[in-house]
Amino acid sequence: MMLAWFVFAAFSGLQERLQGILDDHSAFFNCSFSFAVHNETTELALTSGANNYGTPTTSRLTPDNQIPVGSTTKMYTAVAVMRLAEVGIIQLDQPVAPLVDRYLAKPMTCDQAPLYCAAECAPISHCLVAPKPDCSAVTQETNLRCSYCLRFLHCFPGEGRPTAVSVLNLWKNDTRIENVTFRHILSMNSGLRDYYDTPGGNEWLYYAVLNSTRDVEPLEYLVEQDKSFLFSPGEETIVPAGQPGAGQTVRRGAYSTNAYSLIGLALAGLFDLDDWAQLDQRLLSWGEALPVDDATLFPTRGTCLSYGSIAHQYTSRFENETFVDISNHSCLNSWMGGNIAPRPLDVARFTFAAFRNDSKALISEASLAQMADFAPLTEEFGQYIVAYGLGLEGRWDGIGVPLDVCGFLVIGHGGQDYGSGSLIQGYMPQFRMGVSMAITSGFNFGAGIGGMNCSRPYANLLTAGQRARSTIMHALAEAAGLTTYCKPTNWTVPSASECADAPKVGTLNGHDFHCSDLLNMTAHLSPPLSANMACNNWLSVRTLAMLAKELPGYMPPAGVDPTTTTALAMCLGSCGDVGVGPCWLRQPIDTPWC
């Protein structure tokens, strides 16, 4: 679908050019893309590749297929909370526990209780509120099974048995849980751990979801996760030496998808719902501005296949493992923090409507300013690299700033599911439009997204989405008369002489500094970077002038412009060997691995 595109001075042929970019990358990497843009006068939605790779010629991905994109859900949840706060229904700084407790205590019809509750779970329900020695024999598997009985405790009265459970009970009477507010959760400042933080570190959730078709519902998520706090809610810290912005006082941050489910349970209590799945996440986010043809899904129960129009998802769970279709598994990837399945067009519309920052926006200017108050994640995932606002992703460079794609700001939130994910999700002010792009294949339990061409080196497949996105953004920028550092994918194989490393990258403390030294240095960063990741995400975005600021004692070589020459440009051979940069097609190709 396409209307006149007022943003671009040279629109003629752009749709065909963008379609060609998607087709080229889809064919080469054997994967599927969906892309959309939206503003007041424009809608464009394009796709390329198969939907069901079991029947690729007859089942093609279309703009009407929804694609699960995990953590993009957080952006919608945050907008919903901000909208409720704006009209005074809730306050950002009010604790969520009383509302969650209201939901947990609401009497349920006893004939809805699972049949095993009376015999298996009611007799040990005292362990939730007043543990006795016999409680030590209760296994975690039993606790998880009994999580589905927590709202029916009143149906099984008896001496010492509670009639309801509270959040404080679930957190083993750690009173800090009663201080956790909406703002703490939205900003990752709650100190709560995530669903992968399970007793014994056994990645239980990944296996529970991917090895069965059953749903893992919110209370089971909460029962399973580690209840210890990484820090107290609202706590601050000083950025340590050696990290960007050292010496600053910042709020502490730890990424927790599962904490967002507490927001959902609190809203279920607020609205007096019988069942968590009755909460209308889409309506809460959009309000009366919801487009009549919006097709966004927020799956609750059931497999992705059961929703009919959700795209097939593919994953390779371990390195060099053949990709498999996982669409017959649960589509509930953590409620309120990871359960969205939209069309990219729906996301492009939503981000434009929410973050356009004018009188027509879904949220006020003041609300957007609070959402865009970024601070670094200080613990575990993304430590002093990722910045976080209220449901918005950013980056930490000593200050917190929004995401950047090809030199353009993106106000939004990316996301990945187990077999799909986003490449851009947000409002781009320089273009004044919402932009969304997604792919339907992933790696390693949701750790990455990319192509499925098993005649290419496995690590190289991770670049599929990045290459397609960079080429798309280059085309958009060129059509809009804007400048970008992103380069289009080069499908020409350069000669060996064109793909040699520079004799040296410069000097460090007076000694010659080579590409091997630079890659060795990035391998010892925290977290360490593989050569592929270093070339793709580090060397490619750093000019030699930037290196001079970051590396004490470094001097760029003579004869190059340090303000425009990237570190990647000095290491074309080394980076080409790992499938990155202009020489990526010279990467050695192994025997097909699938």
**Which pLDDT tens digit goes with each residue over 29-66?**
999 999 999 999 989 999 999 999 999 999 999 999 99
The token pair that represents 46 in the structure block: 């394009």
> CA-CA distance, 296 to 327, in Å (whole number)?
17
The helix (H) or strand (E) run that includes residue 422 is strand 421-428
**Any idea which residue has 């008896």 for tokens?**
158
> What residues contact 174, with CB distance under 8 A and at least 6 apart?
168, 227, 228, 229
Choose among 311, 198, 213: nearest CA to 258. Answer: 198
Q: What percent of the chain has pLDDT over 90?
A: 78
Residue 512 belongs to a domain: yes
Residue 182 belongs to a domain: no
> What residues contact 340, with CB distance under 8 A and at least 6 apart?
68, 69, 70, 72, 73, 76, 281, 296, 297, 298, 415
> CA-CA distance, 331 to 216, in Å (whole number)?
10
535, 568 Cβ separation under 8 angstroms? yes
Cis amide prior to 503 (ω within 30 degrees):
no
Residue type, 39: N
pTM: 0.91
> CA-CA distance, 83 to 285, in Å (whole number)?
8
Choose among 466, 461, 414, 464: nearest CA to 435. Answer: 414
> CA-CA distance, 505 to 525, in Å (whole number)?
19
Residue 118 belongs to a domain: yes
> CA-CA distance, 459 to 529, in Å (whole number)?
13
Domain boundary, last residue among 157, 173, 189? 173
Residue 557 belongs to a domain: yes
In order along its 594 residues, the chain shows pLDDT tens digits of: 333 334 444 455 899 999 999 999 999 999 999 999 999 998 999 999 999 999 999 999 999 999 999 999 999 999 999 999 999 999 999 999 999 999 999 999 999 999 999 999 999 999 988 888 889 999 988 999 999 999 999 999 999 999 999 999 999 999 999 999 999 999 999 999 987 766 655 666 666 666 677 888 999 989 888 899 999 999 999 999 989 999 999 999 999 999 999 999 999 999 999 999 999 999 999 999 999 999 999 999 999 999 999 999 999 988 888 999 999 988 988 899 999 999 999 999 999 999 999 999 999 999 999 999 999 999 988 999 999 999 999 999 999 999 999 999 999 999 999 899 999 999 999 999 999 999 999 988 777 899 999 888 887 888 899 999 999 999 999 999 999 988 899 899 999 999 999 999 999 999 999 999 999 999 998 778 889 889 988 998 899 999 999 899 999 999 999 999 999 999 999 999 888 888 988 887 766 767
The sign of the dihedral angle between the CA atoms of 358, 362, 364, 368 is negative
CB neighbours of residue 383 within 10 Å: 17
Choose among 421, 488, 581: nearest CA to 21. Answer: 488
> CA-CA distance, 235 to 246, in Å (whole number)?
17
How many domains is the chain built from?
Answer: 2
Residue 211 belongs to a domain: no
| pLDDT tens per residue across span 88-142 | 999 999 999 999 999 999 999 999 999 999 999 999 999 988 888 889 999 988 9
Residue 131 belongs to a domain: yes
Residue 404 belongs to a domain: no
Residue 101 belongs to a domain: yes
Kindly report the backbone phi and psi dihedral angles of residue 112, in degrees, each rounded to the nearest multiple of 5, phi listed first.
-90, -10
How many residues are there in the chain? 594
DSSP reduced 3-state for 2: strand
Residue type, 573: G
Determine the Cα angle at 174 with ends 173 and 179, to 5°: 120
The β-bridge partners of 426 are 412, 435
Q: Which residues of 531-544 are buried (b: 16+ CB within 10 A; e: fewer)?
A: bbbbbbbbbbbbbb
Domain boundary, last residue among 116, 141, 173? 173
CB neighbours of residue 137 within 10 Å: 9
Q: Which domain holds residue 131?
A: 97-173
Domain boundary, last residue among 173, 199, 220? 173
